[in-house]
Amino acid sequence: MGGRCETAPSIELPRRAGYGDRVIGRPLNDRELRSYRHVPDDVARRVRVVAIPALPGRYVGLTLGSIVFLAEEVSDDGDSTLLAHELVHVRQWHEQGRARFAVAYLRAFGAGLIRHRSWQEAYRAIPAEVEARQEAGRWLRSHQGRPAADDGEAG
Ligand SMILES: [Zn+2]
């Protein structure tokens, strides 16, 4: 979440055989699964990435359960810091349960609004966001200079 949305990418809601008609988005590909090691493999494998033209406010990414909505094009080469950030939220949802995560997130946001009197500061102060920024930052530092292609791909 966060950042500025300036582009309006095309809608991508493919149906995937074997998952049922109600499943939207695409799963992470093998390269992404190898790259985004900062979240557990079983969590990464349940992720679906959905590109949509716009998200509320200035969001460029929004995670609901295992579905990551992105309002900007991101690479599927396993080098997207935005996707790395949203995957932390998928793990948080998965670990805490949807209801607990949503309640804790909104409660922290509400408390932050009272304390900071700023939407942006309140959003940045949410513990789930602090953690996602830290983990995505660590992922980026460990990922830089180590292309996904060199990370165990055979052939
Ligand atoms: Zn976030």
- For 77, which DSSP code? S
Q: How far apart are CA 113 and CA 86, in angstroms?
A: 22
Predicted confidence at residue 72, as pLDDT, reads 85
Predicted confidence at residue 3, as pLDDT, reads 47
Q: What share of the chain in percent tops pLDDT 90?
A: 63
Q: In Å, how far are 121, 141, 145, 147 from 69, measured between CA atoms?
A: 22, 24, 28, 25
What are the helix (H) ranges across the chain? 30-35, 41-44, 81-96, 98-116, 119-125, 127-143
**pLDDT surpassing 50 at residue 15:** no
Predicted confidence at residue 146, as pLDDT, reads 58
For residue 22, report the distance from its CA to the centre of ligand 1, in Å.
25
For residue 123, report the distance from its CA to the centre of ligand 1, in Å.
9
Q: Quote the tokens at residue 102.
A: 């949503």
For residue 154, report the distance from its CA to the centre of ligand 1, in Å.
33
For residue 18, report the distance from its CA to the centre of ligand 1, in Å.
30
Q: How far apart are CA 110 and CA 90, in angstroms?
A: 21
**pLDDT surpassing 70 at residue 120:** yes
Highest-confidence range of 17-26, 57-66, 127-136, by mean pLDDT?
127-136
For residue 6, report the distance from its CA to the centre of ligand 1, in Å.
18
State the residue for tokens 């295992």: 66
When pLDDT is cut at 50, 70 and 90, the band that residue 55 belongs to is confident
For residue 65, report the distance from its CA to the centre of ligand 1, in Å.
13
Q: Across the chain, what does the average pLDDT equal?
A: 82
Question: Contact 147/35 with Cβ under 8 angstroms?
Answer: no
Q: pLDDT tens digit string along 62-83?
A: 999 999 999 988 899 999 999 9
For residue 56, report the distance from its CA to the centre of ligand 1, in Å.
14
**pLDDT surpassing 50 at residue 7:** no
For residue 131, report the distance from its CA to the centre of ligand 1, in Å.
9
For residue 83, report the distance from its CA to the centre of ligand 1, in Å.
10
For residue 2, report the distance from its CA to the centre of ligand 1, in Å.
6
Q: In Å, how far are 37, 56, 117, 153 from 120, measured between CA atoms?
A: 29, 14, 9, 40
As beta bridge partners, residue 20 has: 16
Q: For the ranges 15-19, 28-32, 89-93, 110-114, which has the lowest average pLDDT?
A: 15-19
**pLDDT surpassing 90 at residue 52:** no
Region 94-116: what's the mean pLDDT? 94
Q: Give the chain's end-to-end CA distance (angstroms, integer).
A: 35
